[in-house]
Amino acid sequence: MSLRLVGNIPAAIGVLDLQGGVHEHLEHLERLGVAYKRVKQVGDFTNLAGLIIPGGESSCISRLLNFFGIKDVLLESHRRGMKIWGTCAGAILLARKVVGETACLNLINITVERNGFGSQLDSFVSEAILPDVAAEPIPLTFIRAPKIIDAGPDVKILLKIDDYIAAAENKSVLVTVFHPELTGCLALHRYFSSKCGLNPAISGNNYIDPLWKNSSWTKYAGI
């Protein structure tokens, strides 16, 4: 399953379990066949090859990082090689600059505008090809999404639509302003797993599970 070991323990991808769309990411990682775990406290950062910061409310997650005392260990784990992927609110938290606000983690040289498309009513779905991720179109779900309006020279743009950047990365951080976990497509979770040095069980140009339902994640929430 994993190409990386810490002792005899397979390295895992963690999902920051403080607020937001945690369960949907867990379900995608399980289908992908990589080791995964919830991350809620300092001890949960052991053996992590990567961490997903899910969508939710960025200001709430930022406060909880400090309240539970895990912001510093997150940053230290990143310095030691842990990769990070932020979706929607996660991208806001990882940005170096946030319009009108103070940045939180400052781990990728991008400028983000919160609620870049408007209110919740302006949410929408689309699709696009991300050549570095998959050869086939990937479904995109934007929910009260931010916009990446600028990126530094050390940032690789994976997807640009009109006047904004929707996906970008540097060597250790991936950001998407949309929600891959809300579709049946595993392409971006596979891409992040590979970025973390793991070997996903599913290969190919793209993978969209025809049997996936948007309620598949509920077993992780005890619903």
Residue 74 predicted with pLDDT over 60: yes
Residue 8 predicted with pLDDT over 60: no
Residue closest to 206 by CA, chosen among 173, 175, 184, 177:
184
Tell me, yes or no, if 189 is annotated catalytic: no
Residue 218 predicted with pLDDT over 90: no
3-state secondary structure (DSSP) of residue 159: strand
Look up the CATH number of the domain holding residue 134: 3.40.50.880
Residue closest to 127 by CA, chosen among 211, 46, 208, 50:
208
Encode pLDDT of 171-208 as tens digits: 999 999 999 999 989 999 999 999 999 988 765 555 67
Instruction: Quote helix, strand, coil % in the chain, to nearest 5.
Output: 25, 30, 45
Q: Which position among 181, 185, 189, 196 bears the catalytic label?
A: 181
* pTM check: above 0.85: yes
Query: How many angstroms separate the Cα of 95 from the Cα of each of 52, 60, 130, 146?
Result: 14, 16, 21, 11
Contact residues for 211 (Cβ-Cβ < 8 A; gap 6+): none
Cα angle for residues 94, 68, 61 (degrees, 5° grid) = 35
- Look at residue 144 in the predicted model and tell me its pLDDT: 81
Q: Which position among 25, 78, 88, 104 bears the catalytic label?
A: 88
Give 220's pLDDT tier (boundaries 50, 70, 90): low
For residue 186, the enclosing domain spans 5-220
Tell me, yes or no, if 104 is annotated catalytic: no
Tell me, yes or no, if 185 is annotated catalytic: no
**Distance (Å, whole) CA 185 – CA 154:** 28
- Counting the structural domains of the chain, the total is 1
How high is the mean pLDDT of the chain? 88
Return the residue matching tokens 């929707």. Answer: 166
